[in-house]
Chain A
Amino acid sequence: MEAIVVQELRKRYGEVRALNGVSFSVREGEVFGLLGPNGAGKSTTVRVLVTLTRPDSGTASVAGHDVRKEPTAVRRTIGYVPQDSGVDGFGTGRENLMLQGRIQGMSGRDLRDRTNELLELVGIADAADRVVRGYSGGMRRRLDIALGLVHRPRVLFLDEPTTGLDPEARVEMWDEVTRLAQAESLTILLTTHYLEEADRLANRLAIVSQGTIVVEGTPGELKALLQGDAVHVELANGAVDQAKDVLAGVGARPEQVIDGRTVVARVENGGRALPGIISALEGAGIVVESVSVSRPSLDDVYLHYTGRDFQSEDRGE
Chain B
Amino acid sequence: MTVARHTWFMVLRQARNLMREPIWIVMMVIQPMVWLILYGQLFKNVTRLGGFGTGSYVTFLAPAIVVMNGFFGATWSGMAMISDLEHKVVERFLATPASRLSIVLSQIVRSALTAAIQGIIILIVSLALGVRIHTGALGWLVIILAGMLVNSAFAGFSQGIALLTRREATMIAVANFVGLPLLFLSSTMIAKSQMPHWMQVAAEFNPVDWGVRAAREVVLPGTDWSVVGWHLLLLLALTAVTSAWATRTFRSYQRTL
B172 within 8 A of A: no
Q: B97 to chain A: which residues have CB within 8 Å?
A: 72, 75-76, 103-105
B9 within 8 A of A: yes
A95 within 8 A of B: yes
Contact between B96 and A100, CB atoms less than 8 A apart? yes
Contact between B91 and A52, CB atoms less than 8 A apart? yes
B257 within 8 A of A: yes
Binary CB contact string for chain A from 142 to 182 against chain B (1 if under 8 A, 0 otherwise): 00000100000000000000000000000000000000000
Closest to A102 in B: B9
A99 within 8 A of B: yes
Contact between A103 and B96, CB atoms less than 8 A apart? yes
B44 within 8 A of A: no
Q: Which of B87-110 contact A (CB under 8 A)?
A: 87-89, 91-98
Q: B13 to chain A: which residues have CB within 8 Å?
A: 88, 91, 95, 99
Please pick, from A76, A80, A95, the residue contacting B92 in the complex, using a CB distance under 8 A: A80
Contact between A75 and B95, CB atoms less than 8 A apart? yes
Given the contacts A75-B97, A103-B96, A86 and B9 also touching, CB distance less than 8 Å: no
Closest to B10 in A: A99
A279 within 8 A of B: no
Binary CB contact string for chain B from 120 to 151 against chain A (1 if under 8 A, 0 otherwise): 00000000000000000000000000000000
Q: How far is the CA of A89 from the CA of B89 in the complex (A)?
A: 9
Contact between A90 and B254, CB atoms less than 8 A apart? no
B197 within 8 A of A: no
Please pick, from A50, A87, A95, A99, the residue contacting B95 in the complex, using a CB distance under 8 A: A50
Contact between B89 and A87, CB atoms less than 8 A apart? yes
B167 within 8 A of A: no
Please pick, from B5, B20, B84, the residue contacting A131 in the complex, using a CB distance under 8 A: B20
Q: A100 to chain B: which residues have CB within 8 Å?
A: 92, 96
Q: How far is the CA of A75 from the CA of B2 in the complex (A)?
A: 15
Distance of A14 from chain B, by nearest CB (Å) = 11
Contact between A53 and B88, CB atoms less than 8 A apart? no
Contact between A52 and B94, CB atoms less than 8 A apart? yes
Q: A104 to chain B: which residues have CB within 8 Å?
A: 96-97
Distance of A179 from chain B, by nearest CB (Å) = 23
A51 within 8 A of B: yes
Q: Which of A66-95 contact B (CB under 8 A)?
A: 72, 75-76, 78, 80, 82, 84-91, 95
Q: A80 to chain B: which residues have CB within 8 Å?
A: 92, 95
Residue among A76, A80, A82, A86 with max Cβ neighbours from chain B (10 Å): A86
Q: How far is the CA of A217 from the CA of B119 in the complex (A)?
A: 64
A47 within 8 A of B: yes
Pick 19 A–B contacts, CB within 8 A, sort by A.
A51-B94, A52-B91, A52-B254, A53-B255, A75-B95, A75-B96, A82-B92, A85-B87, A86-B88, A86-B91, A86-B92, A87-B87, A87-B89, A91-B16, A102-B6, A102-B9, A103-B98, A105-B97, A131-B20
8 more A-B contacts (CB under 8 A) besides A80-B92, A85-B88, A104-B97? A52-B254, A72-B97, A86-B88, A89-B87, A99-B9, A100-B92, A103-B6, A103-B9
